[in-house]
């Protein structure tokens, strides 16, 4: 298959927080990969901006180091790294101060696409947006990229949207959710809306239930104090899992066009029923030998914040009435695995007799670690011995189907940054979507806070608390195994 990398137009990308973890681990290595693939044009420039004083050369050395650390060995071409770094610059600037803006203005061009990535704490979004205007840096078509967390409830999200709206039009604001940058997430839309096979079955009549899992093996690490004020609901469900649910549940948009897609996603969030207390299981990982548990990790012996959550949701509309959506996410689970599984109903009658029972199909969409899709189908077990049925996966692995291009899937960040440069907002959250998701999440969180619910205990390396298994078993269903 011929590579179809289409270079984007020349751009200046200013990364505030250019020395931070996200910039060094994801954004700049991703840009290098796009440069190597021929998508980032020679005329493009990247300008790191942060508080520390350093020269262009110091910054290039830092980013060169990041590329060598975070880009696969096979892609570390020294000549290309040198050429890429020649396009990287640095400006020392304090987002809340007055110094450095002149230098930034001088470093940016007016005749190319202008993108400013806010890779800094959300408390700096306001001062930064204000100064970009005051100092005459942001042009009328300047695009800004903002990171999560986008608020911690509806009130703070609204305030943040209001602040950004004072300086930028909604079509200039790109709220990034890296889950939406996954190849398979977009493929989900291609599979649903580009084939006749699935869409007629994509409803409560044929789909028994849907499971969305985002499991991590790591604990809260160094983010303890931040995480303890957030928890799995705010950190993962309100944004990432909600976005996945929207793509699975939404009606076909009239066109694959940003606002048409986002209108449909918004309708899904607004159709969510309130969640009853018995439909939620929250958990905290326990100590394991010398390894600290959640409360030790966050240094809060009284913490009631969840490092795991499982919930059953209902989308109250014609398509989905009666099909539950089960969501779960957590830290220190048995494997790092994110997937969406669409579990179809059993055939209404088994012609193969009681013994062979009835078997449903499962479409599993794997987001990480290996992106791909599998459709579980029932076939006859080969060989003599009568009609014995077995389940086999029809594997839609990109590597096999698409050859070398299938294995060379861009990372979510690099894809999304290129989308910003192209001016395509389809995979970015609109203000009303974010607010609707908080409007749904707020009463759920307030409910457990008012009741004083205590998270259940779970063993590190497990599939979460026993109670989460029971949540499914009560409905006569089971979670899929968490595995890579
Ligand atoms: P970090 O603490 O590693 O880096 C913060 C950066 O901001 C540094 O470059 C620092 O110099 C700069 N900075 C701080 N105050 C500044 C100021 N007043 N003016 C100019 N620059 C200033 O943080 P990070 O992990 O890179 O995260 C950045 C943002 O991205 C945060 O909002 C975070 O929530 C979000 N985020 C990070 C990740 C990740 O994987 N690191 C993932 C999702 C979202």
**For 307-344, how does the pLDDT look when each residue is reduced to its tens digit (9 = 90+)?**
999 999 999 999 999 999 999 999 999 999 999 999 99
Q: Mean pLDDT, the chain, as a whole number?
A: 93
Q: How far is the CA of 21 from the centre of ligand 1 (A)?
A: 7
Nearest CA-CA partner of 68 in 56, 85, 46, 51: 85
Q: What is the pLDDT of residue 445?
A: 98
Q: Cβ atoms within 10 A of the Cβ of 22, count?
A: 17
Alpha carbon nearest to ligand 1 atom 25, residue: 21
DSSP strand pairing (372-380 vs 389-397): antiparallel
Q: Cβ atoms within 10 A of the Cβ of 452, count?
A: 7
Higher pLDDT, 86 or 3: 86
Q: How far is the CA of 95 from the centre of ligand 1 (A)?
A: 12
Distance CA 469, CA 1 (A): 44
Q: How far is the CA of 122 from the centre of ligand 1 (A)?
A: 9
- Mean pLDDT lowest among 165-174, 188-197, 320-329, 463-472: 188-197
Atom of ligand 1 nearest to the CA of 127: 18
Alpha carbon nearest to ligand 1 atom 23, residue: 20
- The pick from 18, 50, 120 for probing ligand 1's pocket by mutation, whose C-beta has the most ligand atoms within 8 angstroms, reads 120
- Residue 470: in which H helix or E strand, if any? helix 466-473
**476 Cβ contact list (under 8 Å, min separation 6):** none
Higher pLDDT, 352 or 163: 163
Alpha carbon nearest to ligand 1 atom 37, residue: 22
Selected catalytic residue, list 240, 314, 349, 473: 240
**Residue 406: pLDDT band with limits 50, 70, 90:** low
pLDDT in tens, 183-242: 888 888 998 999 999 999 999 999 999 999 999 999 998 889 999 999 999 999 999 999
Distance CA 126, CA 147 (A): 13
**418 Cβ contact list (under 8 Å, min separation 6):** 8, 34, 39, 40, 410
Percent of the chain topping pLDDT 90: 81
Per the CB < 8 A criterion, the answer to whether 449 and 302 are in contact is no
Atom of ligand 1 nearest to the CA of 52: 11
Percent of the chain topping pLDDT 70: 96
pLDDT > 60? residue 158: yes
Alpha carbon nearest to ligand 1 atom 44, residue: 148
pLDDT > 70? residue 403: no
Residues with C-beta less than 6 Å from any ligand 1 atom: 16-23, 50-51, 93-96, 119-122, 124, 147-149
Distance CA 33, CA 411 (A): 9
Per the CB < 8 A criterion, the answer to whether 365 and 346 are in contact is no
pLDDT > 90? residue 350: no
Q: How far is the CA of 118 from the centre of ligand 1 (A)?
A: 8
314 tagged catalytic:
no
Q: 203 — phi, psi (to 5°)?
A: -165, 175
Q: What is the pLDDT of residue 292?
A: 95
- The pick from 14, 18, 21, 220 for probing ligand 1's pocket by mutation, whose C-beta has the most ligand atoms within 8 angstroms, reads 21
3-class SS of residue 176: coil
- The pick from 15, 16, 17 for probing ligand 1's pocket by mutation, whose C-beta has the most ligand atoms within 8 angstroms, reads 17
Higher pLDDT, 63 or 373: 63
Q: How far is the CA of 119 from the centre of ligand 1 (A)?
A: 5
Q: How far is the CA of 120 from the centre of ligand 1 (A)?
A: 4
Q: How far is the CA of 28 from the centre of ligand 1 (A)?
A: 14
What is the distance in angstroms between the CA of the first residue and the CA of the last residue of the chain?
A: 28
Nearest CA-CA partner of 310 in 117, 459, 465, 156: 465
Per the CB < 8 A criterion, the answer to whether 465 and 453 are in contact is no
Distance CA 286, CA 289 (A): 10
Q: List C-alpha distances in Å: 5 to 158, 406, 417, 443.
A: 38, 13, 15, 45
Q: What is the pLDDT of residue 397?
A: 67
pTM of the complete model: 0.94
Q: What is the pLDDT of residue 351?
A: 86
* CB-neighbour burial class of residue 278 (10 A; exposed 0-12, middle 13-18, buried 19+): exposed
- The pick from 19, 22, 130, 148 for probing ligand 1's pocket by mutation, whose C-beta has the most ligand atoms within 8 angstroms, reads 22
**444 Cβ contact list (under 8 Å, min separation 6):** 233, 274, 275, 280
Angle at 450 between CA 446 and CA 452, to 5 degrees: 115
Atom of ligand 1 nearest to the CA of 118: 29
**69 Cβ contact list (under 8 Å, min separation 6):** none
Distance CA 455, CA 448 (A): 10
> Which residues share a beta bridge with 313?
325
Atom of ligand 1 nearest to the CA of 226: 34
Q: Cβ atoms within 10 A of the Cβ of 269, count?
A: 24
Q: 174 — phi, psi (to 5°)?
A: -115, 100
Sheet with 113-118: list strands edge to edge.
Answer: 88-92, 45-50, 11-16, 113-118, 143-146, 173-175
Sheet with 456-458: list strands edge to edge.
Answer: 389-397, 372-380, 362-368, 337-344, 207-215, 325-330, 308-313, 280-285, 456-458
């Amino acid at each position: 298959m011929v590579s179809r990398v289409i270079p984007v137009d020349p751009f200046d990308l200013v990364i505030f927080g250019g020395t931070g973890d996200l910039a060094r681990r994801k954004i700049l290595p991703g840009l290098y990969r796009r440069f190597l693939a021929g998508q980032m044009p020679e005329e493009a420039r990247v300008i790191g901006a942060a508080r520390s004083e350093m020269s262009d050369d110091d910054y290039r050395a830092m980013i060169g180091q990041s590329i060598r650390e975070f880009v696969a060995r096979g892609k570390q071409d020294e000549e290309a790294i040198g050429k890429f770094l020649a396009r990287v610059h640095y400006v020392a600037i304090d987002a809340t101060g007055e110094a450095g803006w002149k230098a930034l203005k001088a470093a940016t061009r007016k005749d190319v696409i202008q993108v400013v990535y806010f890779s800094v704490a959300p408390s700096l979004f306001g001062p930064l947006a204000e100064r970009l205007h005051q100092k005459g840096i942001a042009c009328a078509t300047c695009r800004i990229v903002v990171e999560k967390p986008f608020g911690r409830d509806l009130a703070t999200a609204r305030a943040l949207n209001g602040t950004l709206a004072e300086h930028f039009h909604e079509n200039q604001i790109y709220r990034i959710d890296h889950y939406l940058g996954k190849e398979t997430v977009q493929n989900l839309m291609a599979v649903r809306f580009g084939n006749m096979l699935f869409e007629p079955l994509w409803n409560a009549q044929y789909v028994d239930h849907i499971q969305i899992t985002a499991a991590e093996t790591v604990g809260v690490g160094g983010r303890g104090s931040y995480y303890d004020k957030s928890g799995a609901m705010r950190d993962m469900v309100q944004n990432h899992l909600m976005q996945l649910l929207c793509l699975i549940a939404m009606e076909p948009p009239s066109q694959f066009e940003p606002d048409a897609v986002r209108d449909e996603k918004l309708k899904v969030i607004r159709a969510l029923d309130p969640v009853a207390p018995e439909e939620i299981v929250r958990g905290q990982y326990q100590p394991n030998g010398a390894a600290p548990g959640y409360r030790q990790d966050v240094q809060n012996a009284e913490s009631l914040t969840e490092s795991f959550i499982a919930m059953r949701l209902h989308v109250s509309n014609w398509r989905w009435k009666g099909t539950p959506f089960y969501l779960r996410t957590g830290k220190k689970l048995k494997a790092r695995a994110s997937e969406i599984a669409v579990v179809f109903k059993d055939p209404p009658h088994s012609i193969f007799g009681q013994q062979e029972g009835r078997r449903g199909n499962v479409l599993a969409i794997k987001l990480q670690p290996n992106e791909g899709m599998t459709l579980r189908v029932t076939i006859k077990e080969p060989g003599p011995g009568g009609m014995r049925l077995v389940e086999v996966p029809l594997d839609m692995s990109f590597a096999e189907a698409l050859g070398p291009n299938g294995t060379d899937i861009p990372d979510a960040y690099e894809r999304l940054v290129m989308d910003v440069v192209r001016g395509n907002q389809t995979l970015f959250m609109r203000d009303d979507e974010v607010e609707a998701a908080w409007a749904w999440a707020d009463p759920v969180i307030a409910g457990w806070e008012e009741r004083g619910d205590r998270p259940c205990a779970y063993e590190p390396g497990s599939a979460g608390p026993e109670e989460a298994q029971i949540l499914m078993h009560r409905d006569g269903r089971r979670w899929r195994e968490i595995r890579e």
